[in-house]
Structure 1
């Protein structure tokens, strides 16, 4: 799971730890593969017959995935004007996003509106204005864990969809190792960054309760956590810090809890292949229709 601090305090070392995780997990590559497998048909359906297209990214981070999706949308509708609104609480990541836009051909032509705030504050700002911009495509990738109220968040962003629009939510699959780890050690892990862990099962239950139409697509991923079991490995230590949202895994938990987490990671959250411990990091892509 892309465990990061709440967007409003997602700066400094937390960003560096997140980027370290991305380098070692292949998560962005898996998400981008999923995007290119799943989205082309959906984007064609969304944009059919429209004279302009408006996109909203919520919790977009440094823009690595957003720019790819916008480029894909441009390639499908080269003559249709596109706008992009970005909601991201980290000013550091917004700066990274802007730098990426500046060196991505074609994307520079898209007018961006930057909202440096978390998703709740964006909702408050929109409601206070009383004039809501609506969107053809809204995406929330690996950020649904950090919202205060899951049902209210889904209801609000779904309300911003235009006719034939789609809200895309990417979240850790209910069958993933993340779900096993965070549900098993909920009491120990959900104390600061996250106070409530959510997987695709929680999101789907919310969608069904609200009577929303959706499709679920699997985005498979796994990554090597073998070094997490080597006490002398700095890479393993940093991965464990990130995966448990702790400052220092070794100092944050009792010996019994540490041993239990490591045992769970090896035997319940991963598969062993060629001597490597491969953590199940499968993602669920949910396409929610207007």
Structure 2
């Protein structure tokens, strides 16, 4: 049986209801899929979903997606329009802390101040047999190669420090937590990044570097070095195409 199936079964074992917490859920695209899967798997259990997201715009998209899914209408949602740090302080100030059966943090741990303390806090909110799922870029990914090679140039107020799966695992080990790691293999065609006249290529470069205007954001030397790195070390080349390594790590932390 696959690890994902085992974790899902453990989450619902001996439960009269399921409580889910999404941290940094954005527009909720993945949340909707996961909640739909849980609802179909545990059709007789009431499900509640708390969502922590600092962007009002993203939450509006999430709510719109929920309204389009008839199968999610029975789920009771609680919306927390705030960043993770504010949510943590809010919960710590309460005497009666709510517990959850499934907590997920997908591509959001780049934005927290204290990685280990953040993981420790959310892990403390797990019910018996609960799972904390963390998805983040794998240490062997092109993202990791790019951002660890150019930390001074790429890290900013938006992403103050780059983190990959190795940082998460180091925190989990320091906390003595049990976990299972699975890999999500993926690639992206970035061939057009090397055509300075390609608008698609410029948008891809902005996405990869978190800079709205790639060519205006870096000196000619840094631009050339970034492009060379993307071509030579951040993926593979095949039949004239350049494929960026987008591998992710999916980590299930036990309660």
2-structure distance, mates of 1:247, 1:166: 36
Q: Deviations over 1:242-266 (max 9, x none)?
A: 2111121111111010000000001
Aligned to 1:65, the other structure's residue is in SS state helix
Is the contact made by 2:51 and 2:77 (CA closer than 8 Å) also made in structure 1?
yes
Which residue matches 2:31? 66
Structure-2 residue corresponding to 1:101: 66
Matches of 2:131 and 2:225 in 1, distance apart? 41
User: Of residues 156, 171, 187 in structure 2, which corresponds to 1:222?
Assistant: 187
* Aligned counterpart, 1:161: 126
* Counterpart Cα distance in 1 of 2:220 and 2:3: 43
Superposition deviation, residue 40 in structure 1: 2.9
Once residues 254 and 80 of structure 2 are traced to their aligned partners in structure 1, the CA distance between those partners, rounded to angstroms, is 24
> In the alignment, which residue of structure 2 is the partner of 1:118?
83
Instruction: Tell me the secondary structure at the aligned position of residue 277 of structure 1.
Output: strand
Is the Cα contact below 8 Å between 1:230 and 1:236 reproduced in 2? yes
In 1, Cα distance between equivalents of 2:100 and 2:135: 18
**Farther off after superposition, 123-132 or 135-144:** 123-132
Q: State how many pairs are aligned.
A: 254
Residue 244 (str. 1) matches residue 199 (str. 2): no
Which ranges of structure 1 fall in alignment gaps of 5 or more residues? 1-36
Runs of 4+ in 1 over 2 A off after TM superposition: 37-41
Match of 2:65, SS state, is helix
CA RMSD of aligned residues (A): 1.0
Which of 169, 179, 185 is 2:144 aligned to? 179
Q: CA deviation at 1:38?
A: 5.0
Which is helix-richer, 1 or 2?
1
Counterparts of 2:5 and 2:68 in 1: how far apart (Å)?
Answer: 24
Shift of 1:191: 2.5
By how many angstroms is 1:45 displaced?
1.2
Question: Who is 2:93 aligned against?
Answer: 128
Q: Would you say the 8 A contact 1:40–1:72 is kept in 2? A: no
The 5 Å alignment of 1:19-98 reads 38-98=3-63
Residues 13 and 129, structure 2, Cα contact 8 Å, conserved in 1: no
3-state DSSP of counterpart to 2:44: coil
Q: TM-score, normalised by structure 1?
A: 0.86
Q: Write the distance in 1 (CA, Å) between the matches of 2:60 and 2:5.
A: 28
Q: Which whole-Å CA distance do the structure 2 matches of 1:176 and 1:285 have between them?
A: 13
SS in 2 for 1:146: coil
Give me the whole-angstrom Cα distance separating, in 2, the residues matched to 1:131 and 1:148: 25
TM norm structure 2 = 0.97
**Aligned positions of 1:253-272 closer than 5 A:** 253-272=218-237
